Amino acid sequence: MQQQNDNYGRAGSEIEDMVRNGKERLSQMFPSGGSRSAVLMIALVLAVMGAWTAYYTVPSDSVAVVQRFGQYQGTVPPGLHFKLPLGVEVATIVPVKRQLKQEFGFITPGARESFQSPDPNDGMRETQMVTGDLNAALVEWVVQYRISDPVKFLFEVREPRQTLRYVSESVMREVVGDRTVDEVITIGRQEIESEALTKMQALSTRYAMGISIDQVQLKNINPPRPVQESFNEVNQAQQEKEKLINEARRDYNKVIPLAEGEKDQRIREADGYRLKRINEAEGDVARFNSLLAEYTKAPEVTRRRIYVETLQDVMPGIRSKFIIDESARGILPLLNLDGPKPKEAKNE
């Protein structure tokens, strides 16, 4: 009872003290005589004290558990209530609707609930865990809970909140101990949360602590500090891998689409060549056919005309021309046919 009163409603012992102090003070004030008025005074003080301790208010997020001479009387809802004064009845306020939490491995400043934060000397040890592949990891997490049954919470287990801390640590290690370090650090977080929650709920039901656990949330999960760098190396290597591949892809992309384009270009050019050849051929043929038609009408003359015209075209461009008479064949050897300056040899 003592401990409870320390934690919750402090009505009992305080009142006893006040009464005692009051009595002493009164006897000092009236050392002798006037015993009647003294008795009256004592009665009055007692009445005031009684009135003072005869009511209590229960906040809206809580209920009060009332005990008369230590015996459980009942649970009262929020509001203003009356009780037997002077420590006969004691009301313990239990915040049943408040969402409470416990932090493991880290401390949020300004924690008000008892056992909310780890022992400052213990915070580091709390996070260290061994994984199922015998690696080590640092795990931080939060447990959200409520007091679901104030009677059990007060009377079944001596330190329900501390027990909850034990349960939470134990279960988290059990769950982490069944997983590989990769699961713990990266891929299995959600599974860990849900499995830890189920197991913690099962244990807290078995322990009948009057606590219901709503949520388990993993916070930071890290490899141990000396190992962290090598975990980063893996990440960097992963990035590096991507980079190398991307660079190679870049080179590929720089060349291949261009080559495809050039290929198309060449094919198109060839196509152009084809069209040109065919068109030219057809043009040539058309011309030839027309000529031929005329030619057949007068072959000899046409032939002669074309011959002469052609030679007329060709001849002027030639610098050295020799026209030799059959009878003057003798001079042929004297001509310098290969001479660089055909002018010299020109004799006209």
Partner 1 sequence: MNKIAKAMIIMIAGVGTIVLMSAVYTVNEVEQVIITQFGKPVGAPVTSAGLKIKMPFIQDINPIDKRVLEWDGSPSDMPTKDKLYISVDLYARWRITDALQYFLRLRDERSAQSRLDDILGSETRNAVAKHELIEIIRTTKDRVPLRDALLTNAEKELKMGSLVPIQKGRQLVEQEIFAEAAQKVKVFGIELLDIRFKRINYNQSVRPKIYDRMISERRQIAERFLSEGNGEAARIRGNRVRDLNKIQSEAYRQVEEIRGLADAKATEIYSSAYNQSAQAVEFYEFTRTMQSYKSIISENTTLVLSTDSDLFKFLKGMNPGGKASSVRLSR
Residues 266-295 binding partner 1 (CB under 8 A) are 266-267, 269-271, 273-278, 280-282, 284-285, 288-289, 291-292, 295
**Given the complex with partner 1, which of 47 and 244 has the nearer CB atom?**
244
Beta-bridge mates of residue 56: 81
Under rule CB under 8 A, residue 16 binds partner 1: no
Distance CA 95, CA 111 (A): 16
Please work out the total of residues on this chain that contact partner 1, with binding judged by CB under 8 A.
123
Distance CA 221, CA 129 (A): 10
**Given the complex with partner 1, which of 61 and 191 has the nearer CB atom?**
191
Distance CA 205, CA 190 (A): 23
| Phi, psi of 214, deg, nearest 5 | -95, -40
3-state SS assignment for residue 205: helix
Site for partner 1 in 170-229 (CB under 8 A): 170, 173-174, 177-183, 186-188, 191, 207-208, 223-224, 226-227, 229
State which of residues 32, 60, 121, 296 lies at the interface with partner 1 (CB under 8 A): 296
CA-nearest of 91, 211, 199 to 161 is: 211
**Given the complex with partner 1, which of 113 and 247 has the nearer CB atom?**
247
State which of residues 7, 233, 301, 344 lies at the interface with partner 1 (CB under 8 A): 233
Contact 152, 208 (CB under 8 A): yes
Distance CA 194, CA 197 (A): 5
Site for partner 1 in 63-82 (CB under 8 A): 67-72
Under rule CB under 8 A, residue 10 binds partner 1: no
**Given the complex with partner 1, which of 55 and 322 has the nearer CB atom?**
322
Least distance from partner 1 to the Cβ atom of residue 60, Å: 25
Least distance from partner 1 to the Cβ atom of residue 209, Å: 8
3-state SS assignment for residue 74: strand
Least distance from partner 1 to the Cβ atom of residue 123, Å: 13
Under rule CB under 8 A, residue 256 binds partner 1: yes
Query: In the 3-class helix/strand/coil scheme, how is 259-277 assigned residue by residue?
Result: HHHHHHHHHHHHHHHHHHH
Contact 113, 147 (CB under 8 A): no
**Given the complex with partner 1, which of 61 and 182 has the nearer CB atom?**
182
Task: Give the rounded distance of the alpha carbon of 7 from its chain centre.
Answer: 41
Site for partner 1 in 89-118 (CB under 8 A): none
**Given the complex with partner 1, which of 79 and 285 has the nearer CB atom?**
285
